[in-house]
Amino acid sequence: MIRAPQNSSAVKESILVVDDHASARESMAHVLQAEGRTVRCAASAVEALELLEKKSFDVIITDMKMPGVSGLEFIRRLEQRECRSQIVMVTAYASVASAVEAMRHGAFDYIEKPFDVDTLEELVGRALRFGENVSRSEGAANSNAANSNAAAPLLGASPAMEALRDRIQQVASTAETVLITGESGVGKELVARAIHASSPRHAETLVSLNCPALSPQLMESELFGHVPGAFTSAESARVGRFELADKGSILLDEISEIDLSLQAKLLRVLQERTFERVGDCQTMHVDVRVLATTNRDIRGEVEAGRFREDLYYRLAVVPLDVPPLRERRSDIILLCEHCLQNVGQRIGRPPRALSENAKDLLTGYDWPGNVRELDNIMTRSSVLHSAPEIDADDLRPWLMGESADAARGPTASLKVGAKLHEMERMLIESTLEKLDGHRGKTAEALGIGVRTLANKLKSYGYGPRDKSLARAA
């Protein structure tokens, strides 16, 4: 684990600047050195990662668009390493998606090019203060604690979450393999970490592997390691994830994505707890608890011939299903407020509040992306919304699909006392929008003639070719 050093009056604050443009690197370094800080520079994410193997930094400033490993991928890798540096993303390509994604993977904040000296200094100062507070809090709790194995709390007071927590406690004390199922974004990895944290192995390492991220060729090496010369680019030995997880636990995230040819080797590990590194004939023995997740119907995958039946039964010794967010609506506001608190603390702003109509909207929404979508929207709202309270109208553009329409409800935009002609106009416009501006389909849906619809649209000020609302029958 890479940890930022504790700052004191005797220790200079250390900054790492990562940018492929020499002039930009040197400019930022000069500004920060003028404030009395120690600054190192790297011309690429790869160079920065090598430097971080030897030294830790209080703050890392990284450009977004770099050749090879991008700034966003660099941030993801730092997250995987559990890097404790505060990360600031610099971009000339600012977008909601990139900013939110970077912050979701641990970035403290972002700054858009071109920026002035004062803005950079203020942001780095905030990042340093936040890092000091985090380090102080962790030190007070237990400076020697294995924080990398600590599990985030599974929030929720719904019956579904109470039942899930009970099941976790039941299976955690055993050494049995657990298959965690559920839709994408429900928090399957959090459940796995909760199982490990409550198990007799909690003091040992939980090693995780994101199965869809690797090709079949790289997957075997990642799982079991390799010896020098095992394949063309294998210049040195590599320790695999199973070996790293010895005496602890391994999390195989989205295991249904593992190639069929590799599943037989994985089955052997589950049965015998033995394997060979790629290119080696020496058998390795490990004591590992296996936790696996999938968002697919794995029985359906077995029937389709894409997943081995014997491997399925070895994995599903203890199946654990995580309920989607729409099945525990009473937890939605609790989760939203928790996310808003966390984001506010991370970006150094007071947490935003939700208005009552925003709460109604969020509770009625089906959340197809589950908790991951909720976290994304709360982060986006905190970053982009300047007012202290978030209203339903601020959130509606970010909700997706038919469940968003259902969440709005038939009277979501109507006020008591609205005139009949106002309600009629809202109904016509919303129906027209829903049907992609097609007048013939809209007239049919409303039970009126196309000419009648055209006359009403004309009275509202829409011309015959006005945006998508003018699409002909």
Pairs from 392-396 (Cβ < 8 Å, separation ≥ 24): 392/355, 392/357, 392/358, 392/360, 392/361, 394/358, 395/358, 395/361, 395/362, 396/361
Task: Return left, alpha or beta for 221; rule: phi > 0 is left, psi -120 to 50 is alpha, else beta.
Answer: alpha
Among the candidates 82, 108, 142, a domain finishes at 142
Instruction: Answer yes or no: is 25 within a domain.
Output: yes
Instruction: Answer yes or no: is 443 within a domain.
Output: yes
What residue type is assigned to position 399 of the chain?
A: L
Predicted pLDDT at 100: 64
Rounded distance between C-alpha atoms, residue 299 and residue 318, angstroms: 15
Rounded distance between C-alpha atoms, residue 273 and residue 306, angstroms: 24
Q: Are residues 293 and 339 in the same domain?
A: no
Of 115, 85, 87, 126, nearest in space to 24 by CA = 115
Beta strands in 25-151 (DSSP E): 38-42, 59-63, 86-91, 107-112
Rounded distance between C-alpha atoms, residue 11 and residue 110, angstroms: 26
Per DSSP, 37 falls in state -
103 within 8 A of 346, measured Cβ to Cβ:
yes
Instruction: Answer yes or no: is 101 within a domain.
Output: yes
Rounded distance between C-alpha atoms, residue 261 and residue 108, angstroms: 41
Helix (H/G/I), strand (E/B), else coil: 20: coil
* Residue range(s) defining the domain that contains residue 337: 328-400
Q: Are residues 382 and 427 in the same domain?
A: no
Q: Are residues 235 and 301 in the same domain?
A: yes
What CATH number should be reported for the domain holding residue 453? 1.10.10
Rounded distance between C-alpha atoms, residue 235 and residue 229, angstroms: 6
Q: What is the pLDDT along the chain (473 residues), one digit of tens a residue?
A: 333 334 433 456 899 999 999 988 999 999 999 888 999 999 999 999 989 988 889 999 999 888 888 888 899 888 888 888 899 988 775 554 566 677 777 788 778 777 888 888 888 988 888 777 666 544 433 433 333 444 556 888 899 999 999 999 999 999 999 999 999 999 999 999 999 999 999 989 899 888 887 777 788 888 998 888 777 766 667 788 898 899 999 999 999 999 998 999 999 999 999 999 888 888 999 999 999 999 999 999 999 999 999 999 999 999 999 999 999 999 999 999 999 998 888 888 889 999 999 999 999 999 999 999 999 899 988 888 888 899 998 898 888 754 555 555 544 445 555 566 677 777 787 778 777 778 877 877 777 877 788 878 877 777 664 444 443 33
Q: Are residues 19 and 130 in the same domain?
A: yes
Q: Are residues 216 and 346 in the same domain?
A: no
Q: Are residues 190 and 334 in the same domain?
A: no
Q: Are residues 239 and 117 in the same domain?
A: no
User: Side-chain half-sphere of 241: how many Cα atoms within 13 Å?
Assistant: 22
Q: Are residues 181 and 213 in the same domain?
A: yes
Predicted pLDDT at 239: 81
What CATH number should be reported for the domain holding residue 394? 1.10.8.60
pTM of the model as a whole:
0.59
Q: Are residues 103 and 194 in the same domain?
A: no
Among the candidates 291, 323, 355, a domain finishes at 323
Instruction: Answer yes or no: is 124 within a domain.
Output: yes
List residues bridging with 18 in a β-sheet: 42, 62
Q: Are residues 353 and 442 in the same domain?
A: no
What CATH number should be reported for the domain holding residue 217? 3.40.50.300
List residues bridging with 206 in a β-sheet: 249
The number of folded domains in the chain is: 4
Report the Cα 151 to chain-centroid distance in Å: 16
Among the candidates 142, 168, 198, a domain finishes at 142
Q: Are residues 69 and 180 in the same domain?
A: no
Instruction: Answer yes or no: is 345 within a domain.
Output: yes
Q: Are residues 233 and 284 in the same domain?
A: yes
